Amino acid sequence: MDDNFPVKYCENPFALKEGRSAAVQRTFPPGTARLARSFHRQLPSYKMSPLKNLSNLAAMLGLGGIWVKDESQRMALTSFKILGGTYAIYRVVKSILGIGDEEEISFSELVSHATRAKLGDLTFAAATDGNHGRGVAWAANALHLRAVIYVHKFTSQARIDAIARYGAEVRVVDGTYDDAVRQVMIDAEKNGWQIISDTSWEGYEDVPRWVMQGYTTMFEEAQEQFAGQGIVKPTHIFVQAGVGALAASAIGYYHQLFGANDPVAVVVEPDRAACLYHSARVGDGRPHTFSGDLDTIMAGLACGDPSPIAWDILKDCVDVFLSCPDYVAAKGMRVYGVPLDDDPFIVSGESGSVTLGALMFIMELDELAGLREKLGLDRNSQVLLINSEGNTDPNHFRRIVWEGANPVPRAYRRGYR
């Protein structure tokens, strides 16, 4: 198998075979998803994102169903990330105002002048690859508060503009996403800013936990949508990961609901930023840094340091970690954009599409028959994917979808029947 093989995998040596994960109980105590969703329901532009069924593609690949939770239109921000940033800011404001866990405040109270006056000159700060920062900027703007967002030097102008549109100050850090995280810690400490981070570190866990709780709105919606189709739960879930917060939220949500009967869970990362896959391979049960310049087209997944609180959940609940080259995501984008027969069309960005690309290679390549079998992927499988972003970077999007950048290497192309 050469270095550029589409899917490298590592079975999780720590996956719990029975019982409940204590890390899941800590982060997603019962009722968490209901609370997050009742907050999001109040946001002016909230509506459920669609769960799309790629039934023709599923049949072609030998699967029972491929269900895509399509976040490409979420509240006009083109990614799921706004769910985490808004919910974390809501929880931070509640805690600054001394409002207890059991007491809720409405969105209109949250954005009222009275609340603004009580909060004083609060500034929110965040590091981002683009999407999280946009959500934080949106929420700060709604609260009439200042936001300072740190991006790394490879962030495209389109992503920077999308953050600045909500009135946030954008600072470019000469380094990677992980360097931007370190810089925001230093500057926030110096200036007394409130960090809203999607990743955690020692002594900083509440906010990233709220971010992860905010993401559960997606899965609470998905369960309602599955129920409408007569499906109790997906049999498999493939989730893409940067620091691992989204994956931990998806997988933790299902573990909380179904315990040891939860869906088979697969985490997918770019091979140039595969910090969770790498941590599983090191095999000492701890999160490890993936070093390098993290140079991948999957900008949202370009993270070298796992979030420790996400890792704690993933370590207990993931079945297999995958690492994939960029062309796997590019293939996913094109397949979503040019669906089979009357399957629905989906706009998917580089970080949104890698799970579909990986699933296709797993189902099609002879070399991956063993993995297929291990995962139990067959005609009875109902697979849940998350299209975590739409067209968040129009230039890159066109380069791939229109001009065919990042093609599948000849050796891994399959003619279609």
Ligand X SMILES: Cc1ncc(COP(=O)(O)O)c(C=O)c1O
Contacts with ligand X, residue ranges (CB under 6 A): 79, 81, 129, 131-132, 198, 240-247, 300-301, 303, 351-352, 388-389
Nearer to ligand X, 60 or 271 (CB): 271
Known catalytic residues? 81, 129
Q: Whose Cβ is closer to ligand X: residue 27's or residue 131's?
A: 131
CA pair distance 141, 157, nearest whole angstrom: 20
Q: Which is nearer to ligand X, 309 or 368 (CB)?
A: 309
Residue whose entry in the numeric block shows the structure tokens 């999407």: 131
C-alpha closest to that of 6 among 238, 270, 243: 270
Residue 381 or 388: the one with the smaller Cβ distance to ligand X is 388
What is the strand order of the sheet 382-387 is part of? 8-11, 320-324, 264-270, 236-240, 382-387, 65-70, 51-53
- Smallest gap from Cβ 22 to ligand X, in A, equals 21
With H, G, I as helix, E, B as strand and everything else as coil, classify residue 295. coil
Q: Are strands 123-128 and 65-70 parallel, antiparallel or unpaired?
A: unpaired
Closer to ligand X by Cβ: residue 110 or 218: 218
Q: Which residue is nearest to ligand X (CB)?
A: 300
Smallest separation, CB 157 to ligand X (Å): 17
52 versus 132: smaller Cβ distance to ligand X: 132
In sequence order, the 6+-apart residues with CB closer than 8 A to the CB of 263 are 233, 234, 235, 236, 237, 254, 384
Q: In angstroms, give the least distance from the CB of 194 to ligand X.
A: 20
CB of 175 to ligand X, least distance (A): 17
Give least dist CB 299 to ligand X, A: 7
Please give the Cα distance from 149 to 130 (Å, whole number).
9
Q: Measured in whole angstroms, how far is the alpha carbon of residue 368 from the centre of its chain?
A: 25
**What is the rounded distance in angstroms from the CA atom of residue 75 to the CA atom of residue 78?**
7
Report the nearest approach of ligand X to the CB of residue 97 (Å).
27
Write the CB contacts of 217 (distance below 8 Å, at least 6 apart in sequence). Answer: 33, 36, 37, 40, 83, 87
Whole-angstrom Cα distance, residue 341 to residue 275? 37
The distance of Cα 70 from the centroid of its chain, to the nearest Å, equals 12
